[in-house]
């Protein structure tokens, strides 16, 4: 069987084709963004059936890398050798100061997050995508016998991204001493950019609680690898010793069933926005796309597992393109984002 094409050039081309640098910014009166946005995209394609080996790529764009860079990933799907990630920043008033139109990155006190490569990437806050980590923490607590069952708050936290339900779930993680244990387990699995810090025993997880921006972190590649560990069709993760598990298979399957019920489809998939003028289709909607989104004024993220016919792939996206770049108040981000989702789906379908 001939080798499968490298995904990275196709992903670079797909992002460039959307011309994200021309995205209108409401903070600039609708003028294009002052600086190229930060975009972090990872895809893992498991192919059709067991006969095809998986392939993967991570491409990243920012004001420092407007043409995009390719993460140097080895044949074991380990961490990128050429990247270092810096933490996002929160100002004294709780503002996301790195993404203001006049932000001068040379004067901002960025703190290293992970990696020692020569290429710097400031990791955008994941927004409500962080609820995927919270759900995994609950699954770990269930597998360890620390809770008897999934809490009722899991469903609204994931399916409609309810913030009060998230507070309840985070409080439960604190009650069973699972927050630090979650961070430790993710680090043991090599997912060192997935971190939750600053959350409170009463469930506080937002900026005003001492958490949020700059304290809770995710990157596309580690998020994609987290999802690999939840995908039943996936081969064993090559960066880990054989037999390594994130969650017990039954627990992972239950979490996937919840992700397949996702009702917020307004980032890479766009089924929630069909009635909005100018609607742009994106990735397939659930249940084909089992995923979680995250959006605020400054951020839009989306990550999940796409299953169609006998094909399966993972996509993870984190960006600095939140609702301030949206063409309509009902939108969470620019139409360029679901257009990219559709482009990714086409290239996976074509095997490009």
Is residue 12 domain-resident?
A: yes
Q: What is the pLDDT of residue 309?
A: 84
333: containing domain: 7-350
Is residue 63 domain-resident?
A: yes
The CATH code of the domain that includes 234 is: 3.40.710.10
Q: What is the pLDDT of residue 100?
A: 96
Enter the tokens of residue 301: 């993220």
Is residue 110 domain-resident?
A: yes
pTM confidence score = 0.97
Is residue 318 domain-resident?
A: yes
Rounded distance between C-alpha atoms, residue 124 and residue 122, angstroms: 6
**Count of domains observed in the chain:** 1
Q: What is the pLDDT of residue 48?
A: 78
Enter the tokens of residue 151: 């809490």
Q: What is the pLDDT of residue 1?
A: 46
Beta strands in the chain (DSSP E): 39-48, 55-62, 65-70, 83-86, 112-114, 119-122, 195-196, 216-217, 289-295, 300-308, 311-319
Asked if 289 contacts 271 with a C-beta cutoff of 8 angstroms, the reply is: no
Is residue 25 domain-resident?
A: yes
Asked if 160 contacts 263 with a C-beta cutoff of 8 angstroms, the reply is: yes
Is residue 2 domain-resident?
A: no
In the chain, what's the furthest Cα-to-Cα distance? 57
Q: What is the pLDDT of residue 2?
A: 53
CA torsion sign for 334, 43, 130, 93 is: negative
Asked if 321 contacts 20 with a C-beta cutoff of 8 angstroms, the reply is: yes
Is residue 1 domain-resident?
A: no
Is residue 247 domain-resident?
A: yes
Q: What is the pLDDT of residue 321?
A: 98
Per-residue confidence in pLDDT tens, the chain, 352 aa = 456 789 999 999 999 999 999 999 999 999 999 999 999 999 999 987 656 889 999 999 999 999 999 999 999 999 999 999 999 999 998 899 999 999 999 999 999 999 999 999 999 999 999 999 999 999 999 999 999 999 999 999 999 999 999 999 999 999 999 999 999 999 999 999 999 999 999 999 999 999 999 999 999 999 999 999 999 989 999 999 999 999 999 999 999 999 999 999 999 999 999 999 999 999 999 999 999 999 999 999 999 999 988 899 999 999 999 999 999 999 999 999 999 999 999 999 988 7
CA distances from 193 to 100, 184, 207, 255, 318 (A): 24, 11, 19, 22, 13
């Amino acid at each position: 069987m001939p080798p499968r094409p490298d995904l990275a050039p196709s992903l670079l081309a797909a992002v460039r084709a959307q011309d994200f640098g021309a995205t209108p910014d409401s903070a600039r009166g609708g003028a294009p963004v002052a600086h190229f946005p930060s975009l972090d995209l990872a895809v893992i394609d498991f192919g059709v059936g067991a006969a095809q080996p998986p392939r993967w790529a991570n491409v990243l764009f920012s004001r420092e890398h407007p043409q995009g860079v390719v993460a140097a990933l080895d044949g074991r799907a380990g961490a990128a050798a050429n990247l270092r990630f810096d933490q996002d920043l929160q100002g004294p008033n709780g503002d996301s100061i790195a993404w203001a139109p006049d932000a001068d990155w040379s004067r901002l006190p960025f703190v290293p997050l992970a990696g020692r490569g020569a290429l710097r990437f400031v990791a955008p806050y994941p927004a409500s995508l962080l609820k995927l980590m919270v759900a995994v923490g609950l699954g770990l607590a269930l597998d360890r016998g620390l809770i008897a069952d999934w809490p009722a708050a899991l469903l609204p936290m994931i399916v409609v991204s309810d913030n009060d339900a998230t507070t309840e779930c985070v409080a439960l993680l604190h009650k069973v001493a699972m927050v630090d244990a979650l961070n430790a387990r993710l680090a043991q699995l090599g997912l060192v950019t997935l971190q939750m810090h600053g959350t409170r025993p009463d469930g506080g997880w937002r900026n005003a609680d001492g958490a949020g921006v700059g304290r809770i972190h995710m990157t596309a590649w580690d998020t994609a690898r987290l999802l690999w560990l939840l995908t039943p069709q996936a081969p064993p993760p090559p960066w880990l010793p054989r037999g390594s598990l994130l969650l017990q298979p039954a627990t992972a399957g239950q979490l996937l069933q919840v992700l397949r019920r996702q009702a917020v489809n307004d980032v890479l998939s766009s089924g929630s926005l069909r009635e909005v003028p100018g609607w742009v289709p994106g990735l397939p909607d659930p249940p084909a796309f089992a995923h979680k989104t995250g959006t605020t004024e400054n951020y839009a993220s989306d990550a999940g597992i796409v299953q169609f016919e006998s094909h399966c792939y993972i996509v993870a996206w984190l960006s600095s393109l939140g609702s301030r770049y949206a063409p309509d108040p009902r939108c969470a981000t620019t139409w360029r984002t679901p257009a990219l989702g559709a482009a990714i789906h086409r290239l996976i379908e074509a095997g490009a």
